[in-house]
Structure 1
Amino acid sequence: MTTTPQATSLPARVRIGYATGSLATGAFGTVPGLLLLPYLTDTLGIAAGLAGLLVLLPKAWDVVVNPIAGRLSDRTHTRWGARRPYLLGGGFALAVTFALIFAGVFRGGAGAAWVAVTFLLTATAFAFFQVPYVAMPAEMTDGYEERTRMMTWRVALLALAILISGAVAPAVRDAAGGGIAGYRAMGIFVAGLIVLGALGAFFGTRGAPAGREERSEPSLRAQLAVVAGNRPFRVLVACFVVQATGVAAMLAGVQYFADHVLHDPDAVTYLFAGVVAPALLVMPLWRRVGERLGKLRGYVIASLMITVTTLSLGLSSVLPVAAVYALVALLGVGYAGQQLFGLSMLPDCIAYDTMRTGRRQAGVFTGVWTAGETFGLALGPQVFGLMLQLFGYRSSTTGQAAQQSDMAQLGVLLGFTVVPGVIVGLALLFLRRYDLSADQLDGADRKVLTAPAS
């Protein structure tokens, strides 16, 4: 049986338990974007343009499958609730298929085909984990501020997951000897993180409110019609997806930036630590910014921090290394706020839709949201890969980056800094039409709490 969500605070156990799912989402969101492109270009010998396409297309499939996952989870009825069974099934499938991506069974064209197929399966499994997972907060609480508290925990754990998967995964690869063997070991390590996240989220949310179960829209067209009628959601998802593209382009370039701009392959670990460590420390500060200035203003401030620091990193080739890491730390502060406010505004948009329609359709919105976000995260490496191709980057089959021309190194620098900075900054133009306030949502929450069950 499901229960009506309450506007009062959730137990810390539930907040932390839910947040542990970020170990799975953070690992999948980070490692393919960080290491799959170098794996393809510098180990399997795939040309940079084709490699970027291989990273893009399987995730683009999620534009189709994510809304399906949302619709199915809206209709699911079990003794564990509508969403929690997918945390186990989707999570374990995600772990297995992720390890298969980096199995290194083939090289060259056959290797490219293997990666394409296994990455497609992984993207499908991720959809059936991520969509129900993201839908849960809107059903677990109707408190406007409680959603921010939940997302504070989630983004903090997400930052930790990014640090572990982004900084430790390359170290695991290198400790296992690099090349095919190193990537296999890394794939198994990350699969273990995904399993931990799935189990933590499943057991940690046991007994949490799950909302009333209602029928979802019967088709993708009907889902999109629901989304089209929710302007705050439309503009928020557009901004977040475009920004995900910029962030993913930068993520795809971390290894290349370390190799060809800083000329220190080990710098990948330090770059990730520089981004994530400050993020873990400033989450309470960003939460206070949201309480004082509002989530929208906090989102804009955090995004502008990302833009300014990313553009400043364009001077990395002439800056002292200490200055580069200082800018990276400021980038991490901005990224923490951007994630916190974006993810806490999403359930607000879902609550607003309930106020308009009288129906709970969290799976509809999270299906579209995660489809868009996943597409943005896939498009980013393609953008970076095209920059490499345009500037003449040379691929390798040795497991080590080939010596690059000055032009190729410039392409790495611009693809890692200027291009992502411009993308993240311009995306804020979408938010000019976001007008959802706390007062409006308080009304939505009261309506949800007093509405009769259907």
Structure 2
Amino acid sequence: MTSTAQSDPTSSRRLPLSVCMGWGLGTMGPVIVLTATNVLLLRYLTDHVGIAAALASSLIALAKIIDAFADPTMGWISDRTRSRWGRRRPYLLGGGVLLAMSVVAVFAIPDIESYAVRASYVGAVLIFYAFAYTVFNIPYLSMPAEMTQDYHERSFLMSFRVYAVALSTIVASVFGPILLTRLGGEADAYLGMALFFAPVILLTSWVCFYTTRKAPFTEKEVHVAYPIREQIRSVLGNRPFFILILIKFMTLLALGVQAVFAYFFTYVLGLSDAYLGQYFLVSSIAMMASQPVWLRIARATGSKRNTYIIALALSLPAFLSWLLAVENEPVLQLYLRAAIIGASGGGAILMGQSLLPDTMEYDYRRTGLRREGLFAGFYTTVEKLSGAIGVAAVGVLLSAAGYIESRGTDVVQPASAIQAIYLIMAFLPFGISLSGIIALLFYPLTEAKLKATTRIA
């Protein structure tokens, strides 16, 4: 393994602020598409494309599952890549272009008369989106482990990603619904929204590529093959990583459950998409504003794990409070929930992402091998599987409760469907967060243990 002189991975110098900010902005492309699809896609497919909720959610889940098993391969490819731009950065440009194309394709489903052909087309487009997400996100998530070896600087670096996640949420979940309302709320409005997203995705991908040109990186002199048996052994042998992906599997189920938000605001609260946008705006502001607090808590306690637990616990009463939500309730109550859930999510994302490069360095110290892409691949595999299960659960539960799909016409939903929306909104994220807290109690990697791990020459 070699490193360029300007990019020695063991260097103790702090990362320039421009590198931290630029790398963080890179997450906007995948998160914009992910947020838009999590929050708006299922309703778009059921209420405008005319796909039944169970089938629509199953197609979303199937695309994620098919692509999930390719994630370790993408990590392996990025580990083996050699270019004058490093192992990861070429995929920032190519993946950004694919992501911009995919968000337009996903929200531009043609009016195909045949139900079977229409559903097949939706499935194919969703697989393309999942592939684009993989090409960008796995090399991107592999970079922090190379960029800094400092335990707490990783949290600082990841805070910029959380800021960008919040900005992405504003773009996708605030401006998106506002645009839908302004453009009339019909199927064509979704295409207009996607065309607004596409240039933002392209710009932020290029900024990430450009600003990280002087970031530390590593290069392999030889290519190392990772048979599937060795990949599985590597994951199982890295106990902190294995527990982390179990935790992420549980907590990331909430991403798929976000699909119920659009239904809840429409059929329970009786509010337009503009109010849905306002909710996510408050939530995103709280997520950004909470970052210095979570960084301070992590440093004060000396434990990312305990800070993660505190962040998840903060959201539990807010999730249950959705059971008390009714039409025409004070908007202040809605904003209060948004602020609490946003701040909680800010801490959970920050600590979860900060632990990932720690587990990658733990692997390097134990084995002497640079396999960041391999571990990022498994990490995103779990992300997609959990997201697939989450959105599938929403669709299946809605269909079982009698939810009625349509192709743009107004439909009165049965009481059973409304009750299901309530239960999904409150109990699923509550149970997911509680499970994550329990799993975190078994996470073993501390800063002291990481530094004490013997590095193989």
Normalised-by-shorter TM-score class: over 0.9
Q: What is the CA distance between 1:376 and its match in structure 2?
A: 1.5
Q: Which residue of 2 aligns with 1:118?
A: 125
Please give the alpha-carbon distance, in whole angstroms, between the structure 1 residues aligned to 2:316 and 2:135: 32
Deviations 1:290-318 (A, max 9, x none): 11121000000111122331122222128
What's the Cα RMSD here?
A: 1.7
Q: What is the CA distance between 1:88 and its match in structure 2?
A: 0.7
Instruction: Decide whether the 8 Å contact of 1:33 with 1:378 is kept in 2.
Output: no
Give the letter aligned to residue 224 of structure 1.
Answer: I
Deviations 1:379-427 (A, max 9, x none): 21111112211211111111x5522122211111111121121122113
Q: Which residue of 1 aligns with 2:333?
A: 323
| Structure 1, 69-78 or 214-223: larger mean CA deviation | 214-223
Please give the alpha-carbon distance, in whole angstroms, between the structure 2 residues aligned to 1:23 and 1:246: 19
Could you tell me which of 350, 354, 358 is aligned with 1:348? 358
Q: Which residue of 2 aligns with 1:230?
A: 238
Deviations 1:325-370 (A, max 9, x none): 2122101110000000000000001111111111111011100001
Instruction: Decide whether the 8 Å contact of 2:279 with 2:334 is kept in 1.
Output: no
Give the letter aligned to residue 308 of structure 1.
Answer: P
SS class of match (1:73): helix
Matches within 5 A, 1:411-422: 411-422=420-431
Deviations 1:133-174 (A, max 9, x none): 000000111111110110011111111111111111122233
Please give the alpha-carbon distance, in whole angstroms, between the structure 1 residues aligned to 2:308 and 2:151: 16
Q: Which residue of 1 aligns with 2:417?
A: 408
Matches within 5 A, 1:254-293: 254-265=261-272, 266-293=274-301
Q: Which residue of 2 aligns with 1:429?
A: 438
Could you tell me which of 39, 44, 61 is aligned with 1:34? 39
After TM superposition, the score normalised by the length of structure 1 is 0.94
Please give the alpha-carbon distance, in whole angstroms, between the structure 2 residues aligned to 1:358 and 1:374: 29
Could you tell me which of 177, 199, 205 is aligned with 2:184? 177
Could you tell me which of 189, 198, 202 is aligned with 1:195? 202
> Kindly, what percent of the aligned residue pairs are identical?
33
Give the letter aligned to residue 14 of structure 2.
Answer: S
Instruction: Decide whether the 8 Å contact of 1:67 with 1:371 is kept in 2.
Output: yes
Give the letter aligned to residue 114 of structure 1.
Answer: Y
Paired residues in the alignment total: 446
SS class of match (2:70): helix
Could you tell me which of 352, 369, 383 is aligned with 2:393? 383
Give the letter aligned to residue 97 of structure 1.
Answer: S
SS class of match (1:61): helix
Q: Which residue of 1 aligns with 2:348?
A: 338
Structure 1 runs (4+) deviating above 4 angstroms are none
Give the letter aligned to residue 377 of structure 1.
Answer: G
Please give the alpha-carbon distance, in whole angstroms, between the structure 1 residues aligned to 2:122 and 2:150: 43
Q: Which residue of 2 aligns with 1:53?
A: 58
Q: Which residue of 2 aligns with 1:361?
A: 371
After TM superposition, the score normalised by the length of structure 2 is 0.94
Matches within 5 A, 1:302-313: 302-313=311-322
Could you tell me which of 4, 9, 13 is aligned with 2:8? 4
SS class of match (2:226): coil
Could you tell me which of 71, 82, 105 is aligned with 1:66? 71
Q: What is the CA distance between 1:282 and its match in structure 2?
A: 1.0
Q: What is the CA distance between 1:228 and its match in structure 2?
A: 0.7
Structure 1 gaps of 5+ residues are none
- Relative distance call for 1:195 and 1:348 in structure 2 (3 A) is same
Q: Which residue of 1 aligns with 2:305?
A: 296
Q: What is the CA distance between 1:21 and its match in structure 2?
A: 0.7
Structure 2 gaps of 5+ residues are none
Instruction: Decide whether the 8 Å contact of 2:86 with 2:218 is kept in 1.
Output: no
Q: What is the CA distance between 1:177 and its match in structure 2?
A: 2.7
Q: Which residue of 2 aligns with 1:78?
A: 83
SS class of match (2:441): helix
Q: Which residue of 2 aligns with 1:374?
A: 384
Q: Which residue of 2 aligns with 1:145?
A: 152
SS class of match (2:300): helix
